[in-house]
Amino acid sequence: MELYTKESLKEVIEKAKDEFYMPKVLFDHYKSLRLETKLAYVSILETMKNKAGYTTENTAYIKVDNPRIQVNLAILANKEVDQEKVNKYLKELEEVELIKVDKQNIFVYDVLS
Residues 3-35: pLDDT tens digits? 999 999 999 999 888 889 999 999 899 999 999
Q: How confident is the model at residue 113 (pLDDT cuts 50, 70, 90)?
A: confident
pTM: 0.93
List the beta bridge partners of residue 62.
106
- Look at residue 112 in the predicted model and tell me its pLDDT: 86
- Look at residue 18 in the predicted model and tell me its pLDDT: 84
Cα 9 from Cα 3, distance rounded (Å): 10
Q: Tell me: the pLDDT tens digits for 31-89?
A: 999 999 999 999 999 999 999 999 999 999 999 999 999 999 999 999 999 999 999 99
Long-range contacts formed by 99-103: CB under 8 A, 24+ apart: 99/41, 99/44, 100/3, 101/64, 102/61
Cα 66 from Cα 71, distance rounded (Å): 10
